[in-house]
Chains A and B, each alone.
Chain A
């Protein structure tokens, strides 16, 4: 090749790289990078699940689920009271978190007055970020001190306060996703704004709202810090609202930091149960959402 055609050749090659091939290679490279990021992000998640499963599986038996904890030194015992206690706490939390969360969410999405709406939304967003232990301290001052002792009620209230901002936010988002045309159709029939919300908008957003509630419950089921000085934990059966109550996360905490091997194993078992519960709630929430919204637009 002569020198002149070399220059032209180089130009062509450069042009080619700047167009098709170069773009293809860059595309493949970035895709590989993203896949690598996905795998990297999944590794800790999968390893937590796997490790918990491996460590906790050995303690899974019928007596684990049906017996009370045994004193130190005695083998065996279970998490029965922690399971029931967690259940009760979740029920109490939901009784507070769901009504308030949904109603405030409706208020923000449907009424949204100019100043107050912004203020409420901002406050809610700040509250989603409040460390759960601070909420626990607040309930400690509010209920534990005034009632003179730890109680299931205090634990339920603390968890309920944690639920409200999450449920509010997801309810508002789901309601905003309902197309405005549906509200107009309802208003055009001569419905009041309240009737429109209750009969048209809320039912349309219901799958999403329920999913949001289930996810909030899943989050709250595993909260430990606020329970440390509200529900406090209990080694015996108790369903009383004015007495301390056992809870799965508390049991895990007590057992995991203990020096006894048997207790540590049981902590893994309880952790597996908790993870299983959260997993089931998430999967259930996702399934329910996709099933319920299959035929909606």
Chain B
């Protein structure tokens, strides 16, 4: 079982430009939470705040608390490196390490943590199976990671993220660069993975949110407008802006 996350009074800036304004949100463990909203509403920034990646951008700032379980990951003295080992991320554009083979890509995170050399094979196989990629690459683990198709590369990135056994998996529009067949595969994987991980997925595709997510949050201009079970949000939205967005009046 993995932990959930709680966000309290979160603000974020790029320089002097505010991007997130007073977000309060609870991400339930072992569930899929989707973040939807129009371009520029702050959903990608929100997710990057969750694994302390936002602060790596020069001039970026965060205020507020973000709890993984009971611990505030922004408390002074907390090492962001350790936070990121518990909270993994898959990006919009697949980004396997180009100088490494498929095996080395999946093992990359493990090697950083000083994983025992002997057990690497086993863990790499397990992660590739979790990402439904094992059958396709088992015979060519030493080939370059970039020689795969887009969908395969994204699953490789997923295997890489899962290999370090995070508690939470963040996915920033993971299927938007993929063709429909690959997208469906990713969505299937998300449904399977939630029993082991807490998943947060950013998507600009509302139908995708409806397909995979248990909870959905609607962001607009840096604010959290509405948050609730997916079915309710889409059929009986409480806020007028939510209704306008899901019926396509804007966005």
Residue among B53, B113, B147, B160 making CB contact with A187, cutoff 8 Å: B53
Mask: chain B, 97-110; 1 = CB below 8 Å from A; 0 = not: 11100000000110
Is the beta-carbon distance between B108 and A297 smaller than 8 angstroms?
Answer: no
Of all chain A residues, the one with the shortest Cβ separation from B99 is A203
Is residue A181 contacting chain B, with contact meaning CB distance below 8 A? yes
- In B63-118, which residues have CB < 8 Å from any A CB? 81-82, 84-86, 88-89, 91, 93, 95-99, 108-109, 112-113
Q: Which residues of A contact B86 (CB under 8 A)?
A: 190
In-complex Cβ contact of A192 among B51, B81, B109, B144 (8 A): B81
Q: Which residues of A contact B95 (CB under 8 A)?
A: 179, 181-182, 184-185
CA distance in complex: A22, B91 (Å): 50
A46 contacts chain B at the CB level, 8 A cutoff:
no
Residues in B with CB closer than 8 Å to A186 are: 97, 108
Task: For B99, list chain A residues within 8 Å (CB).
Answer: 200, 203-204, 206, 296
Closest Cβ of chain B to A179, distance in Å, is 8
Q: Which residue of B lies closest to A189 (CB)?
A: B109
Q: Does B19 count as interface, using CB distance less than 8 angstroms?
A: no
- Given A189-B160, A191-B81, does the pair A295, B53 have CB atoms closer than 8 Å? no
Asked if A240 lies at the interface with its beta carbon under 8 angstroms from chain B, I say no
Residue A38 is within 8 A (CB to CB) of chain B in the complex: no
Residue A188 lies at the interface, judged by CB distance under 8 Å to chain B: yes
For the complex, is A123 an interface residue (Cβ under 8 Å from B)?
A: no
Contact in complex: B91, A297 (CB < 8 Å): no
- A residues within 8 A CB of B112? 189-191, 195, 199
In the complex, chain A residues whose CB is within 8 Å of the CB of B97: 182, 185-186, 200, 204
Q: Please classify how large the interface on chain A is, using the bins under 10, 10 to 19, 20 to 34, 35 or more.
A: 20 to 34
Q: Output the residue of A182, A185, A203, A204 with the most chain B CB within 10 A.
A: A185
B202 at the binding interface (Cβ < 8 Å): no
Nearest CB on A from B180, distance (A):
23
A188 vs B81: C-alpha distance when bound (angstroms): 8
- In the bound complex, how far is the Cα of B96 from the Cα of A204, in angstroms? 12
Q: Which residues of A contact B51 (CB under 8 A)?
A: 188
Chain A residues near B161 (CB-CB < 8 A): 188-189
Establish whether residues A189 and B91, one from each chain, have CB atoms under 8 Å apart when the complex forms.
Answer: no
A163-196, CB < 8 A from B = 179, 181-182, 184-192, 195
Name the distance in Å between A147's Cβ and chain B's nearest Cβ. 44
Distance, CA A185 to CA B82, complexed state (A): 15
Contact A295 B146 (CB under 8 A): yes
A206 to B112 CA separation, bound complex (whole angstroms): 21
In angstroms, Cα B164 to Cα A59, docked, is: 65
Cross-chain contact A199 with B108 (CB below 8 angstroms): yes
Q: Contacts A190-B113, A297-B98, A297-B146 hold; do A185 and B91 have CB atoms under 8 A apart?
A: yes
- Chain A residues with CB under 8 A of B199: none
Interface centre among A186, A189, A206, A296, by most B CB within 10 Å?
A189
Q: Could you tell me the distance between the alpha carbons of A199 and B113 in the complex, rounded to whole angstroms? A: 13
CB atoms of B84 and A190 under 8 A apart: yes
| Nearest 3 Cβ contacts at the A-B interface | A190-B85, A188-B89, A189-B109
What is the interface of chain B, defined by CB distance below 8 A to chain A? 51, 53, 56, 81-82, 84-86, 88-89, 91, 93, 95-99, 108-109, 112-113, 144, 146-147, 157, 160-161, 164
Q: List 5 A-B contacts (CB under 8 A).
A: A188-B51, A188-B53, A189-B85, A203-B99, A204-B98
